[in-house]
Structure 1
Amino acid sequence: MTNNFKPSPPQPWLDNDAIAAWIFLAPALILLGFFLLWPMAYLVYLSFTSGSFTLTGIHWIGLRNYLRLALDPDFWQVLGNTLYFTVATVLPSLIIPLGLGILLNQSLALRGLLRTAYFIPSITSLVAVGLGFRWLFQTEGPVNALLNFLGFASIPWLGSTTWAMPILILLSSWKQLGFNMVVFLAGLQAIPPSRYEAAELDGANSWQKFWYITLPGLRPTLIFATITTAIFTLRSFEQVYMITGGGPLNSTNVLVYYIYEQAFALFDFGYAAAAATVLLCLTLVLVYLQLKTSGDES
């Protein structure tokens, strides 16, 4: 028996379809490279230099900026603040919107109005919100006035190393609440109702339906919300700038504000670029985790 199978000839790397695709993609790729890839590459280059953008210029110093970061106790305090701020913001920014999403996914009166009300913080300016929180929690502000009315002593919210960071966490969690709630609502509506009907026929209670149907069905949504909230928190600047300025005693100084101080207050651009490169690496790790988990889901 003869084998009449003939291997197909190799396809050219650039056929008409590939050329057309590259032509259509070229404007977007050029803009992406100019406004994203080139600044990232230049940032990494600056992290190996010292000097300023003046007549003296910048000069190559190798890994000296990274060695300074490793030996700088202020940087490690800022990194610890950033980790504390991120974890403490992500947890309530997931739990509260998930509960609200489950409630609003049911047939409730004024459901549309409540969805809009909860989403308003996501579209509110962080600068305006920061000014509002600073007014609320100042020493003679409304929050302390309420405490005094209830018979409690005033608390120096923004002047305390204990309470200043929780105020920033409260603001950031409130800001992220509406966006995550909408994300969870979309995920909940993608779960087939037939699963809940089958669970009810098997005698499952509300907790069992939540644990065995809702949570597994929301796994991709939970991963997406967790990583996007972590990225939002890592780049936090406005709330620190408007409310605490990194104080008191550096207790609320997070990585982005630390980079801003080094670059535009001390004009140490190389050192600031090294710290920014560390932040970039942390963000890229989160993006990689999101892409990997999304790929596993598909």
Structure 2
Amino acid sequence: MPSKLVDKSRQETVEAWVLLTPALLLLGIFVLYPIAYLFYLSFTTGSFTRAGTVWIGGRNYLRLALDPDFWQVLGNTIYFTIATVIPSLVIPLGLAVLLNRSMALRGWLRTAYFIPSITSLVAVGLGFRWLFQTDGPVNGLLSMAGLDPIPWLSSTTWAMPVLILLSIWKQLGFNMVVFLTGLQTIPISRYEAAELDGAGDWQSFWHITLPGLRPTLIFVTITTVIFTLRSFEQPYVMTGGGPLNSTNLLVFYVYNQAFAQFDFGYAATITTVLLAITLVLIYIQLQISETDPL
């Protein structure tokens, strides 16, 4: 009997590896190999020409540490991420709670809010650039109110908030639909029991809704952070990273280094740092979700 169990276990192991092999090959070719090659490129200089790339060790990382433009872009990205992620969680959550109570208009409003999520970000960026240009509709409204027009996209103060507003508007519908789906998985009996115990709306929200949405909150936070960190279209379409580098984000900076300066090694170094930052943030979020129950 033991030998038969061992043979069966080996057979199941072989079958498992046979079934996993195609997925592992695809994972290796399209995920692991590109990451490994990116890491290799970060230790080289040159371009994909006849001259090729040259191994230079850690000089790209030293250059990165001493590059004031990189630190400015990193600061821009942190500001952009924080200012985008927090409203992109709070506003959709509030809208989802309200829509969850409105049975009559839920389907129509859900569709209306979700439309920006399926709209091309380039098209949306062009639309926002038209709205916020110097002689655009937004400044027209300010003039009608007796206020001076604001140079939204050419101001180091106002250009980034416009990009943040665009990103929040773009992400709002997707997050709201995900939150709404999560709310519908919470049993109504919990709210009924809380109401019988005399709990108010805020108490029900804090002690029932938020704990029930914990997995959804983790998912939405991670996807929103990734969406924000990989932002490229916003500065590319609206500001070109200006004015004075004030709206330059990491992915757009990588694009300029790789395809404007043709410095692929340095671009790979910045991308490696961005990948590390993303993985660390996701790890922290997962650790918080495991150790700090709502």
What is the TM-score when the length of structure 2 is the normalising length?
Answer: 0.93
Q: Quote the offset at 1:10 in angstroms.
A: 8.3
CA displacement 1:61-93 (0-9 Å, x = unmatched): 111100111111110000000000000000110
Q: 1:177 to 1:294 in 2, by over 3 A?
A: same
Report the residue type matching 1:211 in the other structure.
Answer: W
Q: Post-superposition shift, 1:202? A: 1.1
Label 1:257 to 1:188 Cα distance change in 2 as closer, same or farther (>3 A). Answer: same
Structure 2 CA distance for aligned equivalents of residues 144 and 34 of structure 1: 51
Write the letter of the residue equivalent to 2:229: L
Superposition deviation, residue 8 in structure 1: 8.9
**Residue 25 of structure 1: how far off its partner (Å):** 2.4
In structure 1, how many angstroms separate the alpha carbons of the residues matched to 2:48 and 2:238?
Answer: 30
In structure 1, the residue matched to 2:261 is 266
Task: Find the aligned partners of 1:20 and 1:290 in 2 and give their Cα distance.
Answer: 36
**1:113 alignment partner in structure 2:** 108
CA contact (8 A) 2:42 2:60 kept: yes
Q: Which residue of 2 aligns with 1:191?
A: 186
Give secondary structure in 1 for the equivalent of 2:45: strand
Q: Distance in 2 between matches of 1:57 and 1:13?
A: 52
- Give the deviation of 1:21 after TM superposition: 2.5
CA–CA separation in structure 2 for the residues paired with 1:154 and 1:62: 51
Instruction: Please state if 1:251 is matched with 2:246.
Output: yes
| 1:39-188 to 2 correspondences below 5 Å | 39-188=34-183
Q: How many residues align structurally?
A: 292
- Distance, in Å, in 1 between the alignment partners of 2:7 and 2:68 is 57
User: Unmatched 5+ residue regions in structure 2?
Assistant: none
1:169-214 Cα shifts (integer Å, max 9, x gaps): 0010011111111111122112121211111111111111111211
| Aligned-CA RMSD value | 2.1
**Runs of 5+ consecutive residues of structure 1 not aligned to the other structure:** 1-5
Q: Which amino acid aligns with 1:55?
A: R
Q: What amino acid sits opposite 2:191 in the alignment?
A: Y
Mapped to 1, the partners of 2:256 and 2:238 lie a distance apart of 15
Which amino acid letter does the alignment assign opposite residue 14 of structure 2? I
- Verify the 8 A CA contact 2:218 2:286 in the aligned structure 1: no
The 10-residue stretch of structure 1 (191-200 or 11-20) with the greater mean CA deviation from structure 2: 11-20
Task: State the distance in 2 between where 1:237 and 1:59 align.
Answer: 28
Q: Could you tell which deviates more after superposition, 41-50 or 12-21?
A: 12-21
> Structure 2: how far apart are the matches of 1:108 and 1:151?
42
Q: Which moved more, 1:158-167 or 1:17-26?
A: 17-26
Residues 133-163 of structure 1: per-residue CA shift (max 9 Å, x gap): 0111000111111111111110000000000
